[in-house]
Amino acid sequence: MSGNHQTGLEFDSPTGGSDTRAQINDNNFTVSLSETTDGGMTISSSFMLANEDAVDGDLDAGFTLAFTDGSKLDVLNAGNASGSHDISIPGSAGAEGVTVTTANNAPTGLDFMTAGTVFGVEYHSAADFLADGLSMSFSASTDDGSNSGATYSNDGHVAIGATYVSDLGDTAITVGAGWSQSEGAKTGTQMTSDEGGVHVGISAVTGDLTVAVGFADGDSIESTGTSTNDVQSDGEVVKAGVKYVSGDLTFNVGAASGSAKDSATIGTAGTTEDSKDVVSASVSYAVASCVTAILGYTDVDASNEGVSDTTDGSAWYIGANMSF
């Protein structure tokens, strides 16, 4: 069993509105189960109970089969092999966030186009697959049986991802990349561009210093914030970040720049650009072995359909995280 309890205060300063403040909670409890067969294969599963200002649950857990050669197979709710290999880019460790208009579909994450269904499998190779330092994953999922109505229905996906780790003297280099392709429809019609794309990133760790950059490009199907419609979006994002650990202190700085052209009309590509430019930073202090104090800051400059978004702005966060 494991979990965490994080709580703190967020202070928002939107560009075109009044300053606000709120308490932000993030409470999670995870139960993991594992058994090993006489042949040495491990069968495991887990589920998480989450409470973030309201009762919520994530019980779509599948099974993982870990084989004696070091490879693994995820069965049901397996995920997407492309997203499994995106590089982690440092950014603020705080829970602050700036909420821009829901119509803005510019991405800020590397795995924004890696959708699949829960009816799938993902195979993870053992370490040093084909070459020293190389690991790979392959995934596929099938139609979940949803009706292709006004809301987009994913009919299935295939994906591949890889991570390569190497040492260059005192520096550990990690390169991650992935490709994903999904098919789906809404109102019974295939989308002009199905969800999918590529991402690549690199991380360098030298002692207590981590530097990482990443890039992603692809098409995604995004919600408009209502249950009656979705839009197709052609987007890309560039991210970079730095983390430095000095004793009990951890400093994070990150930046992301994303853009997208979206269209709610099937068969018509978007022509006007949405954008998000995000800069964030944080300082974390290890108060005790399982207690961390966090001070975070995020600033967002956004535009929707080429028009400046007055809901962008900045936010501060101060709080603490306890884990077990």
Q: Enumerate the domain spans of the chain.
A: 2-323
Token representation of residue 106: 């510019």
* Spatial CB neighbours of 222, under 8 Å, sequence gap ≥ 6: 105, 230, 231, 233, 262
- Find tokens 């600033």 and name the residue: 299
Cβ proximity of 317 and 9 under 8 Å:
yes
DSSP string over 158-193: EEEEEEEEEEETTEEEEEEEEEEEEEEEETTEE-SS
- Residue 323 pLDDT class (50, 70, 90 cuts): confident
Lowest mean pLDDT among 134-143, 245-254, 276-285, 301-310: 301-310
- Find tokens 């981590």 and name the residue: 210
Q: Is the pLDDT of residue 247 over 70?
A: yes
Lowest mean pLDDT among 76-80, 203-207, 220-224: 220-224
- Find tokens 């003297």 and name the residue: 169
Token representation of residue 172: 């550990």
Helix extents (H) in the chain: none
pLDDT at 183: 83
Q: Is the pLDDT of residue 169 over 90?
A: no
pLDDT at 217: 94
Residue 48's nearest CA partner among 25, 68, 27 is: 27
Cβ proximity of 214 and 197 under 8 Å:
no
b vs e for 164-181, b when ≥16 Cβ sit within 10 Å of the residue's Cβ?
Answer: bbeeeeeeeebbbbbbbb
pLDDT at 265: 65
Q: Is the pLDDT of residue 112 over 60?
A: yes
Cβ proximity of 45 and 23 under 8 Å:
no
Cβ proximity of 225 and 258 under 8 Å:
no
Binning the chain into helix, strand and coil, the percentages to the nearest 5 are 0, 60, 35
Q: Is the pLDDT of residue 220 over 80?
A: yes
Highest mean pLDDT among 40-44, 177-181, 233-237: 177-181
| Alpha carbons 263 and 273: distance in angstroms, whole number | 10
The end-to-end CA distance of the chain, in Å, is 8
What average pLDDT does range 172-195 have in this prediction? 83
Cβ proximity of 21 and 9 under 8 Å:
yes
| Alpha carbons 68 and 197: distance in angstroms, whole number | 33
List the CATH code of the domain at 2-323. Answer: 2.40.160.10
